[in-house]
Structure 1
């Protein structure tokens, strides 16, 4: 993880902290934990985009933007998604995925749930991907062309699911594994 070690007064983050949150970098000036210390911790956490909890939460947020299962709008949406995505859509359909689908994701079964999301994408044909993008784009309340917005959602969900899977794998990487990796590249 690469972290910027200092914040400048004219940094975008420093300006945001000072102007929007009324917390200049040296606040409080009595010593101890300052805004700059907190900002450095936040920057360090934000630098690792594969950090599992952040990726898990983002994947949940992407699905939360879609119509809710059990509502009239949600039933129409999921039916239309299955029509557009065919068999692959059954990886995600709430009735098939199970009620606690996202509880599993947030509770520790990250790679299993993310794997289902990736299977959905892997099994889509190009034509189905376009059709699914249109369905999702139509459902999102965002300005722009439905297919374009839907494609952005699909890209984000696919990449985020991959981050979840990768972060799950990285939990088992030790310092020795990292050093072995670095040494192999040094020796190449």
Structure 2
């Protein structure tokens, strides 16, 4: 994600730094770096980090809405999901993924979970996808979401798919270099 944020004297972050930290706009005087540069750096860093962390957090929230493994409801749910999703479901089943599944997020390997989620969804045929949507929709708290079960499951699947894609896209960016971006921009301007 390439974020372009234009700053100037009226920018909120510039105003915050000048008023709260008492830094003049030209700070440090005659230095190569001034308050506006600091704002641009901070803004870019916050956008990158928040985008990646928001996608990861949302993926966890999606799974947190499902019955917990190790509980009676969880045992029934994950068994029904395995039956509905067939072999594809082994990508996300607690019995196969185990405790470390979400520890990957803590240890900075977000793409591991996202890849498993996308593998799960990509391996489902249409009939399995509909059956999985029904199982997930039936398990979601209807007092919170107030709509039909199957539709809730479809929403969960679409959201998980898009969120996992965002996680993979954000982690891909981490491995790109400045040269990659320059080649990209040059190729597109020459097209």
| Bigger shift: residues 103-112 or 154-163 | 103-112
CA deviation profile, 1:53-79 (whole Å, cap 9, x unmatched): 221111111101111000101111101
Which portions of structure 1, spanning 4 or more consecutive aligned residues, are displaced by more than 3 angstroms?
2-6, 40-50
> Partner of 1:72 in structure 2?
72
> Partner of 2:19 in structure 1?
31
> Partner of 1:12 in structure 2?
none
> Partner of 1:157 in structure 2?
160
> Partner of 2:51 in structure 1?
51
Aligned equivalents of 1:128, 1:93: Cα separation in 2:
15
How far 1:112 moved relative to its partner? 1.9
5+ residue gaps, structure 2: 22-39
Secondary structure of 1:147 counterpart: helix
Aligned equivalents of 1:59, 1:32: Cα separation in 2:
36
How far 1:44 moved relative to its partner? 6.8
Q: State TM-score, norm by structure 1.
A: 0.76
Q: Report if the CA contact (8 A) 1:50-1:167 is conserved.
A: no
**1:123 to 2:123 alignment:** yes
How far 1:126 moved relative to its partner? 0.3
Secondary structure of 2:99 counterpart: coil
CA gap 1:184/1:41 in 2 versus in 1, 3 angstroms = closer
Count residues in correspondence.
Answer: 165
CA gap 1:180/1:152 in 2 versus in 1, 3 angstroms = same
Matches within 5 A, 1:16-27: none
**1:140 to 2:140 alignment:** yes
CA deviation profile, 1:9-39 (whole Å, cap 9, x unmatched): xxxxxxxxxxxxxxxx9x99x9326xxxxxx
> Partner of 2:104 in structure 1?
104
Q: Report if the CA contact (8 A) 1:49-1:55 is conserved.
A: no
CA gap 1:5/1:129 in 2 versus in 1, 3 angstroms = farther
5+ residue gaps, structure 1: 7-24, 34-39
Aligned equivalents of 2:57, 2:177: Cα separation in 1:
25
> Partner of 2:83 in structure 1?
83
Secondary structure of 2:129 counterpart: helix
> Partner of 1:94 in structure 2?
94
Q: State TM-score, norm by structure 2.
A: 0.74
**1:184 to 2:172 alignment:** no
Secondary structure of 2:20 counterpart: coil
